[in-house]
């Protein structure tokens, strides 16, 4: 857990093509968290009484590259960690804090390995590795259509959104959208 090798900055795969969970991703750079974020229609639904937190971490080397260029380099690895929320615990009375791990998804940019725009998604659950999410999943259409930078939702990472604005790397489709995140 305390190890921090340079190789852990880039995606690692098993012999059958599964992505290996970066062992030290909790020591990577935190981009942001959300609670119960919902992209689909909400009409007719009731608020979830126990919404899920998501934390996003990126490999340090890719983060440093983004600070300089406003873009993600090849071999970028982004980890999306989902955790349950709780309200009543210790002295907390209202609001939500983070609790148990629910599962992990990972987004990887590797044009030498993946077709299309070079990005792929992996579902790891609570495991140490996991398979690529099938190309038919909505993440493969939603991310390039709605992400603020390349294939990623930089509009929800406030410190990086400022960098992307400064570097002029926001996607034209994001800039043309009627309702930006900020």
Per-residue contact string for residues 87-106; x = within reach of a second copy by CB under 8 A: -xxxxxxxxxxxxxx-----
- Those residues whose C-beta lies under 8 Å from the C-beta of residue 45, and which sit 6 or more positions away, are none
For a second copy, which is the closer residue by CB, 132 or 147? 147
Least distance between a second copy and beta carbon 159 (Å) = 6
Are residues 21 and 124 in contact, defined by beta-carbon separation less than 8 angstroms? yes
Task: Considering the complex, state which of residue 58 and residue 108 has its C-beta at the smaller distance from a second copy.
Answer: 58
Query: Please, which of residues 22-51 interact with a second copy by CB under 8 A?
Result: 26-27, 29-30, 32-42, 45, 47, 51
CB atoms inside a 10 Å sphere around CB 179: 4
Residue for token digits 């990005």? 119
Cβ atoms of residues 53 and 90 within 8 Å = no
Residue from 18, 59, 156, 170 in contact with a second copy (CB under 8 A):
156
In contact, 96 and 87? CB cutoff 8 Å: yes
CB nearer a second copy, residue 53 or residue 119: 53
Q: Which residues are CB-neighbours of 85 under 8 A, at least 6 positions away?
A: 35, 36, 50, 51, 52, 53, 96, 97, 98, 99
Closest approach of a second copy to the CB of residue 141, in Å: 12
CB 60 within 8 A of CB 79: no
Least distance CB 49 / a second copy (angstroms) = 12
Token pair recorded at residue 9? 């900055």
Instruction: Work out how close the CB of 8 gets to a second copy at its nearest, in angstroms, rounded to a whole number.
Output: 15
Question: What residues make contact with a second copy under the rule CB under 8 A?
Answer: 1-2, 26-27, 29-30, 32-42, 45, 47, 51, 53, 55, 57, 60, 63-64, 67-68, 83, 86, 88-101, 142, 146, 148, 153, 155-156, 158-159, 174, 177, 179-182
């Amino acid at each position: 857990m305390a190890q921090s090798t340079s190789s852990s900055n880039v995606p690692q795969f098993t012999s059958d093509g599964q992505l290996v969970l970066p062992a030290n991703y909790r020591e990577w750079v935190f981009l942001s968290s959300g609670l119960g974020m919902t992209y689909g229609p909400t009409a007719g639904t009731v608020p979830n009484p126990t919404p899920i937190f998501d934390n996003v971490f990126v490999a340090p080397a890719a983060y440093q590259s983004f600070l300089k260029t406003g873009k993600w380099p090849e071999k970028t690895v982004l980890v999306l960690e989902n955790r349950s929320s709780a309200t009543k615990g210790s002295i907390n009375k209202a609001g939500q804090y983070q609790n148990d791990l629910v599962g992990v998804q990972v987004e990887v940019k590797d044009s030498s390995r993946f077709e299309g725009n070079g990005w792929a998604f992996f579902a790891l659950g609570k495991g140490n590795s996991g398979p690529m999410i099938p190309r038919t999943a909505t993440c493969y259409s939603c991310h390039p259509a709605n992400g603020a930078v390349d294939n990623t939702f930089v509009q929800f990472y406030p410190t990086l959104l400022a960098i992307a604005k400064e570097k002029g790397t926001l996607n034209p489709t994001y800039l043309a959208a009627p309702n930006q995140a900020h």
